[in-house]
């Protein structure tokens, strides 16, 4: 028996000869080690043979099932700059490597290990703002904490990129960094954007939740359910740190034509979700800002498209929630980030053009809360004035959803993970570049 196995291994290795150093390492270096290296989010390093070998079978399973790299867009719709899917031939190479005994190969074949800038991935920032304190994260429960700090910018600044850097990776789950428009908005924090009427929301510890008795609007494309101003199209955060997402680069064409603005003297807010551990931790998260070298032609805008008034009945396995965004002027769509919590099941984005043509922009058939993926369109899509973006989410509040914290409960909108959200963070540009904006132009 032993003789047979050895014979087989030698024979097949001689036949195809996929080795770690020559064939597999280049695939892992290109697609995996951004997360799978020491000190990063993934559980094991795939940088060298010794650390990768015990995972050979798991690697095969993960790539064949396309669980890894994490990417959830249905390949039938849209083209994305940051499409993380492996090429079929890479999957075949990994399968061949495992089938042949996951051998190391000649160490001389190993490509140079990619190097990663620790900390600031875009180089040294022009300005760094931190949360202003060493925050003590209490053990044992998730914490959402807001930090408001002053920029002390004497003049408005155009920003070409921003990188939110967690101070303590072990506990920082995600961060929203926002520029507060004025003094007043700093005080209202979580409710500042709830222009649809404060009476519909309870706010506790800075976290909001739609009241049980608020009107219900599951299909906000069909009508407003009696809520005079459903709202839900606010300018979103300036920059974010989300699991699986890199720094925010606004100057996407690299020619200085696009930037975001921070007014003189602005205050900024860090909204941090700490997923705390058994023992106390300390965090000092910061944002690195990269100034634009010139006044841009157009500002990048983030518009958040939400429906806050859905109600997901207890036990419902496929509850539909819709929101439509009527495009008010010609715009280019650059990126889409769907966001729901643990009951989020799928998300679809359709553009209904003025001539009635329907185009699916993005379909995420299996949404996963653990991955907040930003889908960056390969080519910006023109959303002409009068067209309509139709957003449809489904939620699984049944006992069959392993992530569901409580299938016996009807669920509404709320900041807490055990509540739900139906929101999409979009990045858009005005379609026609204006004459270069003046340096003092206020953010719109």
Contacts (CB under 6 A) with ligand HEC, residues 8-37:
31-32, 34-36
Residues 6+ apart with CB under 8 A from 296: 158, 251, 256, 257, 258, 259, 436, 437
Minimum Å distance from CB 244 to ligand HEC?
4
Q: Which helix (H) or strand (E) covers residue 38, if one does?
A: none
| Identity of the residue, 13 or 62, whose beta carbon is nearer to ligand HEC in the bound complex | 62
| Identity of the residue, 23 or 304, whose beta carbon is nearer to ligand HEC in the bound complex | 23
Contacts (CB under 6 A) with ligand HEC, residues 60-99:
62-63, 68-70, 86
| Identity of the residue, 86 or 129, whose beta carbon is nearer to ligand HEC in the bound complex | 86
Minimum Å distance from CB 169 to ligand HEC?
12
Part of the chain binding ligand HEC (CB under 6 A), chosen from 56-64, 186-194, 256-264, 399-407: 56-64
Q: Dihedral angle at the C-alpha atoms of 14, 19, 21, 25, nearest 10 degrees?
A: 150
Chain centroid, CA 50 distance in Å? 32
- Of 349, 340, 321, the C-alpha closest to 404 is 340
Minimum Å distance from CB 36 to ligand HEC?
6
CA angle at 118 for the pair 117 and 124, rounded to the nearest 5°: 70
Count of Cβ atoms closer than 10 Å to residue 379 Cβ: 10
- Of 281, 276, 282, the C-alpha closest to 140 is 276
Contacts (CB under 6 A) with ligand HEC, residues 370-389:
none
Size of the site for ligand HEC (CB under 6 A): 18
Part of the chain binding ligand HEC (CB under 6 A), chosen from 59-67, 174-182, 215-223, 265-273: 59-67
- Of 311, 370, 316, the C-alpha closest to 340 is 370
N- to C-terminal Cα separation, the chain: 74
| Identity of the residue, 37 or 176, whose beta carbon is nearer to ligand HEC in the bound complex | 37
Minimum Å distance from CB 200 to ligand HEC?
36
x-or-dash pattern for ligand HEC, window 236-265, by CB under 6 A? --------x---------------------
| Identity of the residue, 58 or 128, whose beta carbon is nearer to ligand HEC in the bound complex | 58
| Identity of the residue, 322 or 339, whose beta carbon is nearer to ligand HEC in the bound complex | 339
Tell me how long the chain is. Answer: 444
Contacts (CB under 6 A) with ligand HEC, residues 387-426:
none
CA angle at 378 for the pair 373 and 383, rounded to the nearest 5°: 95
Minimum Å distance from CB 48 to ligand HEC?
14
Minimum Å distance from CB 420 to ligand HEC?
21
Task: Report the chain's C-alpha Rg in angstroms.
Answer: 24
Contacts (CB under 6 A) with ligand HEC, residues 151-190:
none
Residue the block writes with tokens 């099932």: 65
| Identity of the residue, 63 or 239, whose beta carbon is nearer to ligand HEC in the bound complex | 63
Minimum Å distance from CB 259 to ligand HEC?
27
Residues 6+ apart with CB under 8 A from 203: 190, 191, 209
CA separation for the pair 422, 395 (Å, rounded): 10
Residues 176/248, Cβ–Cβ less than 8 Å: no
Residues 375/362, Cβ–Cβ less than 8 Å: yes
Taking CB under 6 A as the criterion, the residue among 41, 99, 314, 354 binding ligand HEC is 41
Minimum Å distance from CB 437 to ligand HEC?
35
Count of Cβ atoms closer than 10 Å to residue 233 Cβ: 17
Taking CB under 6 A as the criterion, the residue among 10, 11, 58, 432 binding ligand HEC is 58
- Of 65, 56, 69, the C-alpha closest to 30 is 69
Taking CB under 6 A as the criterion, the residue among 18, 24, 25, 59 binding ligand HEC is 59
Minimum Å distance from CB 59 to ligand HEC?
4
CA separation for the pair 190, 146 (Å, rounded): 9
| Identity of the residue, 44 or 431, whose beta carbon is nearer to ligand HEC in the bound complex | 44
| Strand pairing class (239-241; 172-180) | antiparallel
Q: Give bridge partners of residue 201 from the DSSP assignment.
A: 210
| Identity of the residue, 34 or 179, whose beta carbon is nearer to ligand HEC in the bound complex | 34
Minimum Å distance from CB 42 to ligand HEC?
4
CA separation for the pair 166, 117 (Å, rounded): 15
Minimum Å distance from CB 346 to ligand HEC?
18
Using CB under 6 A as the criterion, which residues of the chain lie in contact with ligand HEC when the complex forms? 31-32, 34-36, 41-43, 55, 58-59, 62-63, 68-70, 86, 244
């Amino acid at each position: 028996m032993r003789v047979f196995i050895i014979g087989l291994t030698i024979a097949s290795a001689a036949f195809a000869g996929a080795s770690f150093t020559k064939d597999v390492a280049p695939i892992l270096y290109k697609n995996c080690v951004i997360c799978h290296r020491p000190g990063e989010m993934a559980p094991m390093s795939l940088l060298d043979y010794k650390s990768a070998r015990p995972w050979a079978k798991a690697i095969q399973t993960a790539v064949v099932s396309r669980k890894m790299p994490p990417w959830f867009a249905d390949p039938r719709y849209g083209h994305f700059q940051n499409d993380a899917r492996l090429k079929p031939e890479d999957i075949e190479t990994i399968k061949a490597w495992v089938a042949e005994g996951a051998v190391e190969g000649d160490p001389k074949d190993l490509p140079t290990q990619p190097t990663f800038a620790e900390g600031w991935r875009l180089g040294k920032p022009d300005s760094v703002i931190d949360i202003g304190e060493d925050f003590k994260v209490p053990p044992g429960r998730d914490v959402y904490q807001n930090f408001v700090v002053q920029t002390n910018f004497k003049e408005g600044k155009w920003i070409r990129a921003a990188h939110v850097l967690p101070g303590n990776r072990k506990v920082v789950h995600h961060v929203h960094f926002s520029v507060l428009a004025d003094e007043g908005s700093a005080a209202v924090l979580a409710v500042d954007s709830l222009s649809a009427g404060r009476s519909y929301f309870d706010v506790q510890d800075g976290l909001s939740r739609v009241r049980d008795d608020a009107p219900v609007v599951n299909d906000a494309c069909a009508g407003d359910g009696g809520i005079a101003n459903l709202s839900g199209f606010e300018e979103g955060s300036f920059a974010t740190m989300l699991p699986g997402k890199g720094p925010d680069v606004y100057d996407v064409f690299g020619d200085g034509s696009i930037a975001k603005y921070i007014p003189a003297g602005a205050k900024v807010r860090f909204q941090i979700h700490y997923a705390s551990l058994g023992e106390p931790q300390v965090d000092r998260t910061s944002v690195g800002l990269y100034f634009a070298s010139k006044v841009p032609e157009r500002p990048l805008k983030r518009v958040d498209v939400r429906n806050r008034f859905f109600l997901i009945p207890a036990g419902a396995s496929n509850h539909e929630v819709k929101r439509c965004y009527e495009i008010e002027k010609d715009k280019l769509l650059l990126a889409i980030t769907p966001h729901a919590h643990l009951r989020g099941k799928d998300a679809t984005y359709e553009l209904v053009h003025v001539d009635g043509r329907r185009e699916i922009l993005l379909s995420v058939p299996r949404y996963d809360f653990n991955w907040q993926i930003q889908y960056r369109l390969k080519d910006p899509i023109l959303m002409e004035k009068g067209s309509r973006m139709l957003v449809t989410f489904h939620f699984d509040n049944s006992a069959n959803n392993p992530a569901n914290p409580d299938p016996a409960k009807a669920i509404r909108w709320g900041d807490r993970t055990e509540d739900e959200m139906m929101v999409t963070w979009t990045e858009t540009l005005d379609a026609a570049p204006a004459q270069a904006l003046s340096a003092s132009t206020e953010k719109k």
